[in-house]
């Protein structure tokens, strides 16, 4: 602007009108944006509420964030599900052996499906030999193999393939006078012994396994080498093959991860896959979920490996969902699942046995899960959990089932050499 000059009045008036129009346009834009935002999110009445639960366990522990189940519609009890035969739930107590309890439960259901007699099998027989094989690998890897109580269902089957199986009445893993499992001292002794071997660089396998078995025998009792079945003396291997007629190779495991090409096999990258098995079939998420549901529809039960340290997993009401404050169901897809695995908000915590389903005409379906962990015994439905389908899609990382239940999915993989 040149000194001494001013704008004509009509120019100032025009500027004022334009400014006013601009303000009105901005206000309209803001209103449009807010209306759009309102449409992106569920109305308040459809959103899950959160609350803090008092912390349990150690003194000084912080309260735990959880979903408020008061407004969640869920199945009334296990009887409303379409159920597949299974034996009653059994507690694993103070042990990290859910992988054996879930797998054993699956095989008990399989016996009925295959028309065999009902049998309660021993979970702890498999646990005993799993500890032996963990020790063997630790020695062979010179201390570079993982030592923990956890494992995976296909590892349980691998032990059965080598060592067979026995009935619960043949081997309970409880010493005289004991009524509940507690492996806290057992595992301390187990780990300390093997770490001493490492410190001394003493990798004599026979000597190490003898020491480990002495520890296991002291805490669990010596497993039988032969059992009496209808007047016959059988090895556990013969009992599995000849009497039960079960073949561990008939069972297959599936995962759904982006770190592997879909329709290929690879490693399940979690700590409990301590032996680095790469015998897992990788499916896209929608097929992974449908394979579980279709197996149950066909009368097969399914072992699931899941994350149970979640705000939507509530033992007091035997229910597991994905709350909207985690992710709304409409946005739950393969990358959302992968993100939570990569940033470790989804972890492989627990193995359970899916034994029923309840499909909804509208809304979300439910799965009946037989659970051996103590949280499943806090609520009214002792030993059971109700998994909503969003929880299965986001928080179930692996499943195992008889290969006949998933033939159409196996057919999508290249033939094995």
Phi-psi region of 295 (alpha: psi -120 to 50; beta: other; left: phi over 0): alpha
Angle at 155 between CA 149 and CA 156, to 5 degrees: 80
Helix, strand, coil percent values for the chain (each to nearest 5): 45, 15, 40
Interatomic CA distance for residues 370 and 347, integer angstroms: 20
What is the structure's pLDDT at 103?
A: 98
Task: Say how many C-beta atoms besides its own lie within 10 A of residue 60's C-beta.
Answer: 6
Domain 75-410 has CATH 3.90.70.10: yes
Residues of the chain with pLDDT under 50: 1-5
In this structure, are strands 313-314 and 319-320 parallel, antiparallel, or unpaired? antiparallel
């Amino acid at each position: 602007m040149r000194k001494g000059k001013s704008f004509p009045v009509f120019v100032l008036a025009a500027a004022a009108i334009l400014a006013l129009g601009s303000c009105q346009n901005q206000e309209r834009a803001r209103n449009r944006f807010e209306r759009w935002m309102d449409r992106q999110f569920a109305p308040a009445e459809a959103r899950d509420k959160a609350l803090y639960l008092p912390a349990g366990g150690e003194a000084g522990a912080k309260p735990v964030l959880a979903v408020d189940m008061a407004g969640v519609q869920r199945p009334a009890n296990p009887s409303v599900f379409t159920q597949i035969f299974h034996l009653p739930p059994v507690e694993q107590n103070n042990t990290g052996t859910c992988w054996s309890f879930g797998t054993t439960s699956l095989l008990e259901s399989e016996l009925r499906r295959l028309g065999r007699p009902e049998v309660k099998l021993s979970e702890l027989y498999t646990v005993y030999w799993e500890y032996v094989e963990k020790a063997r690998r630790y020695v062979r890897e010179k201390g570079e193999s993982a030592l923990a109580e956890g494992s995976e269902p296909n590892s349980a089957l691998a032990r059965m393939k080598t060592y067979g199986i026995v009935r619960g009445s043949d081997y309970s893993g409880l010493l005289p006078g004991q009524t509940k499992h507690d492996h806290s001292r057992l595992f301390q002794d187990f780990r300390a012994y093997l770490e001493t071997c490492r410190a001394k660089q003493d990798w004599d396998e026979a000597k190490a396994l003898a020491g480990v078995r002495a520890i296991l025998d002291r805490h669990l009792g010596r497993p039988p080498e032969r059992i009496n079945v209808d007047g016959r003396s059988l090895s556990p291997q013969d009992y599995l093959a000849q009497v039960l007629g079960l073949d561990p190779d008939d069972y297959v495991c599936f995962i759904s991860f982006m770190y592997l090409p879909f329709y290929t096999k690879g490693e399940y990258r979690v700590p409990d896959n301590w032996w680095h098995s790469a015998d897992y079939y990788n499916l896209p998420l929608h097929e992974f979920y449908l394979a579980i549901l279709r197996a149950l529809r066909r009368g097969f039960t399914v072992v699931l490996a899941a994350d149970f340290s979640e705000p939507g997993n509530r033992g007091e009401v035997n229910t597991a969902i994905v709350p909207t404050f985690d992710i709304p169901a409409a946005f739950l897809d393969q990358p959302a699942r992968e993100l939570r695995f990569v940033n470790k908000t989804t972890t492989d915590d627990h193995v359970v046995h899916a034994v029923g389903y309840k499909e909804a005409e509208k809304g979300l379906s439910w799965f009946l899960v037989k659970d051996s962990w103590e949280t499943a015994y806090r609520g009214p439905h002792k030993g059971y959990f109700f998994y909503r389908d969003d929880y299965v899609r986001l928080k179930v990382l692996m499943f195992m089932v008889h290969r006949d239940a998933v033939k159409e999915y196996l057919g999508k993989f290249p033939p094995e050499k």
